[in-house]
Amino acid sequence: MDHSTSVAFLGLGVMGGPMAGHLARAGHRVTVYNRTSARALQWVERHSADGLDVAHAATPAEAAANAAVVLSCVGNDADLAEVALGDGGALAAMAPGTLFIDHTTVSPAMARRIAAAGEARGVLALDAPVSGGQAGAEAGRLAIMCGGTDEAMARARPVLAAYAARIVHIGEAGAGQSAKAVNQICIAGTLAGLSEAIRFAQGSGLDMARVLEAVSGGAAQSWQMENRWTSMDAGEFDFGFAIEWMRKDLAIALATARETGVALPVTALVDQFYAAVQAQGGARQDTSALIRHLPECRR
């Protein structure tokens, strides 16, 4: 796919806005749609000022009508259905042979529904949820896990390369979303252990910087430890991936687990902890605010 490809991007939140920007800077012609049109108009104004080939569309269908590739990054299953399906959705306006890539974290069932709707129109579809958060989107260093056909994957790679550090084709439609659930399960368990470790270190009166230096060099090391230990210790949670979105993702994981007969006792417990923090007003705080469910005890 050459850099003159016409691309539509639906959803300009903290993830979608930077991703669409990377596509424009890669040389694609990018038409954007956002439910709040003011945000889309601001995005176009900002990127037009940089001399990029960008435009705004009033509806998903309008954005998708002349695009070779349509990408979406919205909130949940219902939001994706709104922008992709139905008379005003993107798929109804897409020509056979075009490609729909969804970056939203949704249920595997929703991903398969999109793929089936695309197939009925001759449109290729790829579920491609991402990991790396807002910082990864802004830096163009996201990890992308993909579900769909080999043809869809091959067509998507040159587009995804604009903002990806890692692209992995997991399997058929829905497999990308299942892999994203795996990702969130791992993060939830890691943050639960990290929260308890930090409270234990605080209560033991240890030098927190020295503890971090010691344990981050061994088997306990993780991205969360390297990037969140200090801020969790300081009680700073105003960045990263919000708790309300993590709970949405964990709900998908737990529902899928019930359908497949898989037990996720730790994930279910961590979700309850997140619910408690959410009830304390932490819905928009970073997922590392999980530590707030544990009382602070410093010596």
Q: Which residues are catalytic?
A: 180
211/64 Cα distance (integer angstroms): 52
Name the nearest CA neighbour of 34 among 51, 17, 47: 17
29/25 Cα distance (integer angstroms): 9
83/224 Cα distance (integer angstroms): 33
Q: Helix (H, G, I), strand (E, B), or coil: what is residue 10? A: strand
70/100 Cα distance (integer angstroms): 5
| Contact (Cβ atoms closer than 8 angstroms) between residue 36 and residue 58 | no
| Contact (Cβ atoms closer than 8 angstroms) between residue 99 and residue 70 | yes
24/4 Cα distance (integer angstroms): 10
The CA-based angle 212-216-219, given to 5 degrees, is: 140
104/77 Cα distance (integer angstroms): 8
| Cβ atoms within 10 Å of 232's Cβ, excluding its own | 26
| Cβ atoms within 10 Å of 260's Cβ, excluding its own | 9
Tokens read off for 26: 């890669």
The runs of H, that is alpha helices, within the chain are 16-25, 37-48, 60-64, 77-84, 90-93, 108-121, 133-139, 150-160, 175-203, 208-215, 223-234, 243-260, 265-277
Measured in whole angstroms, how far is the alpha carbon of residue 76 from the centre of its chain? 11
